[in-house]
Amino acid sequence: MRHRQFPVLLALVATLAGCGGGDTSSGGGSTSATPTPTSTATTAAAGCSVREREDWVLAQMKEWYLFPDLLDATVNPAAYTDPSPYLDALTAPARAQSKDRYFTYLTSIAQENAFYASGASAGFGIRLSYDSVNARLFVVEAYEGAPALSAGIDRGTEIIAIGDSAATLRTVSSIFAAEGSAGVSAALGPSTGGITKVLRVITGGVTKDLTVTKGPYEITPVSARYGSKILDNGGTKVGYINLRTFIDTADPALRSAFAGFRAQGISQVVVDLRYNGGGLVSISELFGNLLGGDRSGQVFSYTTFRPEKSNNNSTKLFAAQSQSISAMKIAFIGTGGTASASELLINAFKPYLGTNDGLIGTNTYGKPVGQIALDKAACDDRLRVIAFRTENANHEGDYYTGLASRIPSTCSAGDDFTHALGDPAETSLRVALDFLAGRSCTPITASGGQSAQSASAPGRLLDGDMSVTAAREVPGTF
């Protein structure tokens, strides 16, 4: 969950010795995708030694961190040769309480700006999910215009072997046995354009070897293939919307989808956020406005900083848009990969819809907090620091173990890779349609988002290179 600029951060530009402040992601539009966006900044620049960067990190954390009492003051910066592991050590106590599960981190300003502006990244352009019990690896989504889909790899494809060439293929099962999921990620290689891998896959019941070269692509937030549909649910028209990530380019796509829903008089909606790890708060707020056209002037959410920063607290109200509908019943599809801005949206409708606010699938991740951006531009450092918590109109938040125990209506459902997303026969969507029609279901029983994300659970999204913005913001992306 990412906050845009707000007044006090803008004031920091003049006081942080050229470090900048606020989220500098550009608004709207699209830029050409590049494999690894670069900056003219360098860690050899003045003020960019490891110790200077660590000192800067500590100063910002002391000033802005939501949990200042959980910072480990005993950590010695001299013991670290990079500010990122130093930051991890500072926040270890908060992680132990599940309040900051690596939500606070350092990243590249240039790389993050490129991603939020257009979804720019590089790689195969797929999301991967694994079953560590049976040592299997599946493609759960493939992005349009990316190398994998062009090679014939799509949702439901199973990857059974990975190699740099046909002669070096290693089976996925043997990699899991020897190195676990981290070994599988390593075998797939970094998110760098030009890297070629041979993948042995099963697709459409046929086993084949495919040579795929990683390249630049842009993640389209709402798929042109299945991102927005109007479905017939026993004579009732239902809107279906699948949002991959909360980035700037989601704005026109969401508006277009809801204009279509409005024209058809839609009042029941399936919102598919099953892999959506979050993103910009502003896009979550827009999504809420488009769903809740009848809620104008009512509270969407409260944003609360620590007491010393309370002048940044805000209340966001629903604001009807020209494309808004008035959703009377919403089925949110979620999984352990559903987090942050996704959970903010789901939680926002609970006070108004009650039992008509449904969570379908499995429990969500559990991230009721969000980051602001603090920049040290000379070093291309952006510190994403947990600085605020979010609550709905009833002041309900702190769902660190996921939303399943907080939402009045839940229905357990699997993620059915054998059907395309948006297909009414796909298990989670079928159960969501049943919920909207008032048919019975089995409630979600997972104890928390962390257990839903456990390494032994089938259907866990595979972690990619977390130094790459797309891998962090769009879980399971390679």
Count of residues for the chain? 478
Domains in the chain (CATH in brackets) are 7-118 (no CATH), 124-218 (2.30.42.10), 228-366+401-446 (3.90.226.10)
How many beta carbons lie within 10 A of that of residue 439, not counting itself? 11
Q: Mean pLDDT over residues 176-190, rounded?
A: 95
Within its chain, how far is the Cα of 435 from the centroid? 25
- pLDDT per position as a tens digit, 302-327: 999 999 999 999 999 999 999 999 99
Element (H, E) at 340: none
Q: What is the DSSP letter of 279?
A: B
Q: Are 198 and 163 in contact (CB under 8 A)?
A: yes
Query: Between 281-291 and 341-348, two packed helices, what is the crossing angle to 10 degrees?
Result: 30
Mean pLDDT across the stretch 89-113? 93
> pLDDT tens digits, residue range 221-260?
999 999 999 999 999 999 999 999 999 999 999 999 999 9
Collapsed DSSP state (helix, strand, coil) of residue 458 = coil
Residue 11 host element (H or E): helix 7-12
Inter-helix orientation angle 281-291/250-263, to 10°: 10
Strand 460-461 vs strand 236-242: parallel, antiparallel, or unpaired? unpaired
The distance in angstroms from the start CA to the end CA of the chain is 21
Task: Give the distance from CA 76 to its chain's centroid.
Answer: 32
pLDDT in tens, 154-181: 999 999 999 999 999 999 999 999 999 9
Distance CA 125, CA 217 (A): 7
Q: What are the start-end ranges of the H helices in 273-329?
A: 281-291
Cα 10 to Cα 19: distance, rounded to the nearest angstrom: 11
For the cut 80, the answer to whether the pLDDT of residue 191 exceeds it is yes
Q: Is the pTM of this model over 0.85?
A: yes
**What residues have CB less than 8 Å from 478, skipping those under 6 apart?**
123, 124, 126, 127, 128, 185, 188, 191, 462, 464, 471
Q: Give 195's contacts (C-beta < 8 A, 6+ positions apart).
A: 189, 213, 214
HSE, side-chain direction, 13 A CA sphere, residue 460: 22
32 pLDDT above the threshold of 50 = no
Q: What is the mean pLDDT of the chain?
A: 88
Six-digit token string for 41: 């900044």
Joined tokens for residue 432: 């969501």
Pairing of strands 158-163, 196-203: antiparallel
Is 188 in a helix, a strand, or coil? helix
Of 6-10, 86-90, 236-240, 368-372, where does mean pLDDT reach its minimum? Answer: 6-10
99-112 mean pLDDT? 91
For residue 220, how many other CB atoms are within 10 A of its CB?
22
Token readout for 460 is 């866990």
As given in the structure block, the two tokens for residue 457 are 């659970």
- Give yes or no for a contact between 151 and 139, defined as CB atoms under 8 angstroms apart: no
Strand-pair category, 329-334 with 357-361 = parallel
SS3 content of the chain, % helix, strand, coil (to 5): 30, 25, 45
The mean pLDDT of 20-32, rounded to a whole number, is: 28
Band of pLDDT at residue 339, cut at 50, 70 and 90: very high
CA distance 93 to 84: 16
- Condensed to tens digits (0 to 9), the pLDDT of residues 409-447 reads 999 999 999 999 999 999 999 999 999 999 999 999 855
98 is written with which tokens? 């599940």
Q: Are strands 409-412 and 120-123 parallel, antiparallel or unpaired?
A: unpaired
What one-character DSSP code corresponds to residue 292? B
What residues are paired with 361 via a beta bridge? 334, 412
Alpha-carbon distance 157 to 305, whole Å? 44
